[in-house]
């Protein structure tokens, strides 16, 4: 068991790819940086998908394990501005960067 | 050989220089807008082939990417109104399709087999709780996936803009390429 207390719980049990990741992305958008999202899933693909999603979106996966036939994941919402944090999920990142594209030294 | 580097008054040993360079490269790569862009072509219109472009584009959007799907040729069907009711999958020429009852090639082409195969696939997907095509299209629109219909195919096959679901954009090869050249992830499905 983990001693992390979640701020929000997403029950994605019974859902298959890509829905657990799609729903997690939607849920985490409603959290403040530093808050924790707990996700329960039964899709075995989530074991590979959630760590990859966490890295891509900058919402670190704190821990995961199996619990009574379910996979349970804990993510901390990123965006606190720490090193290596590419920011929170959303389409803003690419548009925000494009104006400076030509001026890179 | 690099033993140390001097910048103004400061001196860096080799290890520090390597670390600084590595960190700068990592920082630059994270800022690369192309790493956050996915451009997918959907060229097939059968029920089985409707899934990959929609699953990948919605997963890309969920991962914070700016995703677009360009629907061309038979792929155009996917974004027409009422697609899901009309979508079919054929066992003909599709020997890898898992059938609950083995069907000889000769019978696979018989009238009605397409309907049988389609309802089998729909019920199998439904039983396993795979999202329906309609749900995936809704997710795509809700999460900002751009759905672009190929204007040339529309003209050739006689589609009108009103044949398509809401939110569809229209464009040609140049419009796709102009986005695809700015994306590391491009797929033809």
Sign of CA pseudo-dihedral A5, A9, A11, A15: negative
Element (H, E) at B149: strand B146-150
State both tokens at B80: 């027409």
Does residue A71 sit in helix, strand or coil? Answer: strand
What's residue B141's pLDDT? 94
Residue B143: list chain A partners with CB under 8 A. 22, 25-26
**CB atoms B33 and A101 under 8 Å:** yes
Verify cis geometry, omega within 30 degrees of 0, for the bond prior to B96: no
Q: Is A94 a catalytic residue?
A: no
The percent of chain B in helix, strand and coil, each rounded to the nearest 5, is 50, 20, 30
Strands A36-41 and A8-12, how do they pair? parallel
Q: What is the pLDDT of residue B65?
A: 93
Does residue A7 have a pLDDT over 70?
yes
pTM equals 0.77
Which of A17, A22, A47, A80 is catalytic? The answer is A17
What domains can you pick out in chain A, each with its CATH number? 1-79 (3.30.110.40)
**Taking CA B25 as the corner, what is the angle to CA B58 and CA B177, rounded to the nearest 5 degrees?**
40
Which CATH superfamily hosts domain B39-188? DsrEFH-like (3.40.1260.10)
Please write down the long-range contacts of A49-55, taking CB distance under 8 Å and 24 or more positions apart.
Answer: A49/A17, A49/A20, A49/A21, A49/B59, A50/A20, A50/A21, A50/A24, A50/A75, A52/B63, A53/A21, A53/A24, A53/A25, A53/B62, A53/B63
Across chain A, mean pLDDT equals 79
Interface test with B, best of A88, A91, A105 (most B CBs within 10 A): A91
Quickly state the pLDDT bin for A56 (edges 50, 70, 90).
confident
The pair phi, psi for residue A28, each rounded to 5°, is -70, -20
Measured CA to CA in angstroms, residue B104 lies from A100, B88, B96, B119, B171 at distances of 60, 19, 13, 19, 42
- Taking residues A64-71, report their average pLDDT: 93
Which stretches of chain A sit within 8 Å of chain B by CB?
14-19, 21-22, 24-26, 49, 52-53, 56-58, 84, 86-91, 93-95, 97-98, 101
The predicted structure's pLDDT at residue A85: 42
pLDDT of residue A88: 40
| Helices B47-62 and A19-29, axial angle in degrees (round to 10) | 30
Q: How many CB atoms lie within 10 A of CB A5?
A: 8
Q: How far apart are CA B98 and CA B52, in angstroms?
A: 17
What kind and span of H or E run contains B58? helix B47-62
CB-closest option in A15, A86, A88 to B129: A15
Q: Where are the domains of chain B?
A: 39-188
User: Closest-CA residue in chain A for B130?
Assistant: A16
How sure is the predictor about A92, in pLDDT bands with cuts at 50, 70 and 90?
very low
Distance CA B53, CA B59 (A): 10
Q: Strand A61-67 vs strand A70-76: parallel, antiparallel, or unpaired?
A: antiparallel
- The ipTM estimated for the assembled molecules is 0.72
Task: Show the low-confidence residues of chain B (pLDDT under 50).
Answer: none
Residue A1's pLDDT band (cuts 50, 70, 90): low
Measured between beta carbons, which residues in chain B are less than 8 angstroms from residue A101?
33
């Amino acid at each position: 068991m983990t001693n992390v207390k979640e701020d929000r719980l997403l029950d994605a049990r019974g859902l298959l790819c890509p829905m657990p990741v799609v729903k997690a992305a939607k849920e985490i958008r409603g959290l403040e940086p530093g808050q924790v999202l707990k996700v329960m899933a039964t899709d075995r693909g989530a074991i590979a998908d959630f760590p990859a999603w966490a890295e891509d979106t900058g919402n670190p996966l704190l821990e995961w394990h199996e619990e009574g036939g379910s996979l349970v994941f804990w993510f901390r919402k990123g965006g606190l501005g720490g090193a290596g944090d590419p920011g929170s999920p959303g389409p803003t990142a690419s548009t925000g960067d494009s104006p400076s594209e030509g001026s890179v030294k | 050989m690099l033993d140390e580097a001097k910048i103004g008054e400061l001196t860096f040993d080799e290890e520090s220089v390597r670390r600084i360079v590595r960190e700068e490269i990592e920082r630059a790569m994270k800022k690369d807008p192309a790493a956050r862009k996915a451009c997918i072509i959907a060229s097939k219109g059968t029920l089985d082939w409707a899934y990959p472009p929609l699953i990948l584009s919605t997963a890309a959007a969920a991962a914070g990417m700016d995703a677009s799907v360009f629907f061309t040729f038979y792929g155009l069907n996917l974004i027409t109104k009422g697609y899901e009711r009309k979508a079919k999958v054929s066992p003909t020429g599709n020997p890898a399709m898992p059938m609950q009852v083995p069907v000889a090639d000769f019978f696979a082409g018989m009238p009605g087999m397409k309907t049988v195969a389609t309802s089998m696939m729909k019920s199998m997907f439904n039983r396993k709780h795979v999202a329906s095509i309609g749900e995936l299209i809704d997710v795509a629109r809700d999460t900002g996936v751009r759905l672009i219909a190929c204007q040339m195919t529309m003209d050739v096959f006689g589609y009108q803009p009103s044949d398509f679901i809401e939110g569809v954009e229209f464009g040609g090869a140049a419009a796709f390429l102009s986005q695809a050249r700015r994306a590391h992830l491009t797929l033809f499905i």
